[in-house]
Amino acid sequence: MILAVRYRHERTHPLFAEANAKLLGADRVLTFTGEPFFNTFREMLATLVEQDDDRFLTVDADMLVTDGETVRSYLTLEYDYVDFHVVDKFRGIQQGGPHFYSKRMLQAMVEARHDIAHEQEFIKRPEGYTKGVALYRSGYKPHIEKSAVAHHDYAQFRRDLFYKYLYRGWRTSREDAQTWFAQWAQEQDVDFQVARAAMEWSWRHPLADFPQGITKDQVRELFESLGFTEKPSRVGHSELPPAIQHALEQSVELG
């Protein structure tokens, strides 16, 4: 199994990436980085489809697998695509954690990418949109693992959260967002204020104003103009929930 790690200078990389490789027993690890994310996704897809393997797991550097046993159980099953659930810091239990792909599913995604007509949809959701088109055209059936196997978006840089929630604002309904806002209002963590500010800004500035996506320099300027401060680079043990702490300890034991 090849583990593909998408890295965008997340605060938890390489801590999470190294632990994930051990917890999952990956044969090889390939790392993909760059901005904006849709370009990273294009590179990843083009590279993976050329590899001599039939099982691929993709995971982002802001995510730690906390139930490696469940994920590994799918290595011997013949699904073309498996999606998992995660515990997301901001949104609770969500579908969209690590993704298992077969080789032929990746090939179907490459073919779908060539024919995608709605470029704005691809920019907003590059992997999800391409995958959806590929599943529809190929007839392959996805399998959804209902249990949460990973934790997502804990202990991240605030400017990265701001960037992420700009895009989430562009693709999330106001109704869903208001539900999150009501929950976030009960939190003292500044990260939740950052996420809300990003979504509210995105509603005032449509994605159509940024045909090539918004740049990191633009995000940094916006982040600083709103008066937010950044975290130190080193991740503190107390920032991590018990499930992440336990998984990291397991990875150390695995050597």
AA letter at 117: A
Q: What is the pLDDT of residue 86?
A: 97
Among the listed ranges 27-41, 118-132, 168-182, which one has the minimum average pLDDT value? 118-132
pLDDT surpassing 80 at residue 255: no
Residue percentage of the chain with pLDDT more than 70: 98
pTM for the model: 0.90
Q: What is the pLDDT of residue 113?
A: 77
Which fold does the domain 2-152+243-254 belong to in CATH?
Spore Coat Polysaccharide Biosynthesis Protein SpsA; Chain A (3.90.550)
Distance CA 161, CA 239 (A): 15
Q: How far is CA 173 from CA 6, 36, 228, in A?
A: 26, 23, 25
Q: Are the beta carbons of 108 and 136 closer than 8 angstroms?
A: no
Q: Are the beta carbons of 195 and 161 closer than 8 angstroms?
A: yes
Q: Are the beta carbons of 5 and 61 closer than 8 angstroms?
A: yes
pLDDT surpassing 90 at residue 37: no
Phi first, then psi, for residue 124 (nearest 5°) are: -70, -40
pLDDT by residue (tens digit) across 51-107?
999 999 999 999 999 999 999 999 888 899 999 999 999 999 999 889 999 999 999
Q: What is the pLDDT of residue 117?
A: 57
Distance CA 138, CA 103 (A): 13
User: pLDDT higher for 48 or 128?
Assistant: 48
User: pLDDT higher for 118 or 59?
Assistant: 59
Distance CA 253, CA 247 (A): 10
Which are the contacts of 102, defined by CB distance < 8 A and separation ≥ 6?
Answer: 54, 55, 56, 78, 79, 80, 81
Distance CA 204, CA 157 (A): 24
pLDDT by residue (tens digit) across 216-251?
889 999 999 999 999 999 999 899 999 999 999 999
Distance CA 32, CA 126 (A): 15
AA letter at 134: A
pLDDT surpassing 70 at residue 119: no
Tokens of 170: 């562009």
Tokens of 242: 């018990």
DSSP letter (8 states) at residue 240: S
Q: What is the pLDDT of residue 124?
A: 75
Task: Please state, rounded to an integer, the average pLDDT across all residues of the chain.
Answer: 92
Count the neighbouring beta carbons within 10 Å of the beta carbon of residue 139.
8
Among the listed ranges 23-27, 102-106, 129-133, which one has the minimum average pLDDT value? 129-133
Domain boundaries, the chain: 2-152+243-254, 158-230
